[in-house]
Structure 1
Amino acid sequence: MIEIAGLPAHILLVHAVVVLGPIAGVAAIVYAVAPRWRRLLAWPLAVLSLLLVPVSLVTAQAGEQLEKARPATKLIREHAEQGDVLKYVSVIFFVFVAAMIVVSYEPIGRRFAFLGRLRENRTVRIILLVAGALAGVLFIYQTIVTGHSGAVSVWSR
């Protein structure tokens, strides 16, 4: 089992996901609906959404190891299932955030000039901005559901 300073790593890593996940989700929503904020949010949102993928995967892995080391209850199994969903949601979130930023933020978009008219298509841009915002809502929701199920599994004993 992965440990940090004698504590199961999952207990510590989960805080990064629980705090940074909703922040990233809100940032994606703001990015999509407030064009004047895009210049300020593009890079932090891109980096944060990328960072959350490995953090979510490592947190889930540490949680699976903790689950094997302790007696698993029904609540813990439910939390583990929610954690598995969150791993996929973090990847989906990153993909939509990256696509949203590529089509809507010019300094980054210039590096993807090979996309040509696709980047210039207003309909594509709007669809990706809406999808990015919805991915943000999904990421916030799944983070809350997973965190809540974990808290219930620990504190309801």
Structure 2
Amino acid sequence: MLIGGLPAHILLVHGVVVFGPLAGLAAVVYGLAGRTRRYLAWPLGVLALILAPMALITAQAGEQLQATRGATDAIQAHARQGDILKIAAVVFFVVVVLLLAATFAPLAERIPALVSLQRSRPARIAALTLGVLAGLFVIYQSVITGHSGSFSVWGG
């Protein structure tokens, strides 16, 4: 898969490198700073929605690149980290959906079934905690995957 004559993975990876940590940071701030929630809810949802398919497409492009170029030990290590990030991005999206369902009041106004979820303090606390942890993990995994990828190219 090529974009402008370059392997697609090389171009797509920049989106994951930007959206992964940004989405993770948004989830952490959303979970820890209550007064920011009304401002961060939509951006967080959009970032998570962009990150999940972008991570899947980038991983697919990376697998195709690996198949055409071969795999050193460093590339195989990067592929393993990419597989973890791919799963983490999808799980992160699900967690963000649950987080917003449990904490963002305008969403409950549109979906009446969420009112009881938002009224449950333990559910809100669990969702916020899970959101912060998922955000931290997405940041960590984005950095580790990006580092292993750059090492596989520039590490010598």
Short-chain TM bin: over 0.9
Q: Would you say 1:67 and 2:72 are equivalent positions? A: no
Uncovered stretches (5+) of structure 2, i.e. residues with no partner: none
Answer yes or no: is the 8 Å Cα contact 1:50–1:94 preserved in 2: yes
Name 2:55's counterpart in structure 1: 56
Answer yes or no: is the 8 Å Cα contact 1:102–1:112 preserved in 2: no
After TM superposition, give the deviation of residue 102 of structure 1 in Å: 1.1
Cα offsets for 1:114-136 (capped at 9, x unmatched): 13422210011001001001000
Cα offsets for 1:29-55 (capped at 9, x unmatched): 000111111111101110110111110
Question: In 1, distance between residues paired with 2:88 and 2:57?
Answer: 14
Uncovered stretches (5+) of structure 1, i.e. residues with no partner: none
Name 1:106's counterpart in structure 2: 105
Name 2:118's counterpart in structure 1: 119
The AA in structure 2 aligned to 1:132 is G
Name 2:87's counterpart in structure 1: 88
- Give the CA RMSD over aligned residues: 0.9
The AA in structure 1 aligned to 2:114 is L
Question: In 2, distance between residues paired with 1:117 and 1:144?
Answer: 37
Name 2:146's counterpart in structure 1: 147
Q: What SS is found at the alignment partner of 1:72?
A: coil
Question: In 2, distance between residues paired with 1:58 and 1:88?
Answer: 12
Name 1:26's counterpart in structure 2: 25
Question: In 2, distance between residues paired with 1:24 and 1:130?
Answer: 16
Name 2:6's counterpart in structure 1: 7
Question: In 1, distance between residues paired with 2:155 and 2:116?
Answer: 55
After TM superposition, give the deviation of residue 71 of structure 1 in Å: 2.2
Q: So what's the TM-score if we normalise by structure 2?
A: 0.97
The AA in structure 2 aligned to 1:114 is A
Name 2:36's counterpart in structure 1: 37
Q: So what's the TM-score if we normalise by structure 1?
A: 0.96
The AA in structure 2 aligned to 1:17 is V
